[in-house]
Amino acid sequence: MFGQAFFAWARRHLGALRRLSLQIHVMDADSVRNAIQHQYDHDDFKGESPLYLALGSEGEPIYNLKPAADRLRRAHPLLLGTALHLVEAASFRTVWIRTPHELLSHFAAWYWDGDESTTDQEAKESLADRFGEDEAEIEEFLPSVVWEDFCPAKLGLWTEKKGTRQIRRRPGLSSADLKSIAAQPDGRAKRLCAELIRLQSLLRGHRAKQLFDRCYSANPVYAACGLVWDHTDRVAQMYDDIYEHESQTGEATTFFGFVPFATDAGAMRQQYADWAYGFEVLSCIDRVLCHITTAD
């Protein structure tokens, strides 16, 4: 009975999602222990609450950003980058969304000694240890080539100086900038800007850093969605490598984490307020994603 009432409440606040893959579960402590039994730190889960909210994803839908990029750049060169920055910031406070920058970071960890800002010349030295004197293969793994697959300049996410690319720390347009863009005739840009202004406001308007305050993170294998510039062979191979790695470790789950239900009346009111706010943020993220992953 409680579960039915809770799911109805959650659906009312979350609404229908068109881009995010998100499942909501209510689990008891034993069910949580069963879900995390293969994780090396499973003993850290104390199971002190009778019930837990579990958010998860049973599959990661992947969306291309390239089809809408030119349209968004015509509205403003930094509009797409601003949207991605806000989605990533909102993801940190709600559920995991895999971004182009995250895929690039994975690649850098595996091929460039973890340094995504490395230059072509620096990368050649480490790649030579892996590929020997095969210059054609080394060429395919150079930053100037790989960045274009994962984070091309059209995303507006980085700057370059002397061959070194750096992700912008605050690659964004202000609310005033977005309102100015919204005044343009393009109705789609206007609607996207309205959602971005809304998301900016939501991120500023709540005290909690984590809107779903997990007591245990569950090493999820799937994000709520993946955002890629283009689903190229390199990107597909990166996903295959990530999933293969998780399969070999045997510790991944389909849950983002577990949040103990509060039992004190005051704590319950605050918790439900946080969750309602979190669902509102997720709903706004979903609408933003619809705008930036829809072709002309």
pTM tops 0.85, yes or no: yes
Nearest residue to 278 via CA among 18, 63, 20, 3: 20
The continuous run of DSSP H or E covering 270 comes out as helix 265-292
The stretches of 36-174 forming alpha helices (DSSP H) are 66-75, 79-93, 100-111, 120-131, 135-140, 143-150
**Same domain assignment for residues 177 and 268:** yes
**Same domain assignment for residues 68 and 181:** yes
**Same domain assignment for residues 162 and 236:** no
**Same domain assignment for residues 269 and 178:** yes
**Same domain assignment for residues 273 and 182:** yes
Can you give the pLDDT at residue 178? 97
Angle between helices 187-204 and 66-75 (to 10 degrees): 90
Give residue-wise pLDDT tens across range 74-119.
999 999 999 999 999 999 999 999 999 999 999 999 999 998 888 8
Please tell me the least confidently modeled range out of 96-110, 142-156, 184-198, 268-282: 142-156
**Same domain assignment for residues 183 and 61:** yes
**Is residue 231 pLDDT above 70, yes or no?**
yes
Can you give the pLDDT at residue 12? 95
Can you give the pLDDT at residue 81? 92
What's the CA gap between 229 and 213, in Å, rounded?
A: 31
Nearest residue to 226 via CA among 107, 97, 96, 104: 97
Q: How far apart are the first and last CA of the chain?
A: 46
**Same domain assignment for residues 87 and 145:** no
Q: Which among 134, 152, 167 is the end of a domain?
A: 167
Work out how many domains the chain is built from and give that number: 2
**Same domain assignment for residues 75 and 217:** yes
Tell me which long-range contacts 243-250 makes (C-beta under 8 A, separation of at least 24). 246/221, 250/38
What's the CA gap between 172 and 86, in Å, rounded?
A: 8
**Same domain assignment for residues 197 and 140:** no
Q: How far is CA 193 from the centre of its chain?
A: 20
Mean pLDDT of 205-224: 90
What's the CA gap between 156 and 100, in Å, rounded?
A: 12
**Same domain assignment for residues 240 and 280:** yes
**Same domain assignment for residues 88 and 196:** yes
Q: Rounded to the nearest 10 degrees, how much is the dihedral formed by the CA atoms of 254, 15, 291, 179? A: -130
Q: Which among 167, 190, 208 is the end of a domain?
A: 167
**Is residue 144 pLDDT above 70, yes or no?**
yes
Give residue-wise pLDDT tens across range 200-212.
999 998 877 899 9
Nearest residue to 254 via CA among 224, 225, 221, 226: 221
Q: Which among 128, 148, 167 is the end of a domain?
A: 167
Give residue-wise pLDDT tens across range 234-248.
999 999 999 999 999
Q: How far is CA 146 from the centre of its chain?
A: 20
Can you give the pLDDT at residue 163? 65
**Same domain assignment for residues 203 and 288:** yes
What's the CA gap between 85 and 283, in Å, rounded?
A: 17
Which domain covers residue 161, as residue numbers?
A: 103-167
Give residue 239's region: left, alpha or beta (phi > 0; psi -120 to 50): alpha
Instruction: Tell me the two tokens of residue 185.
Output: 């005739």
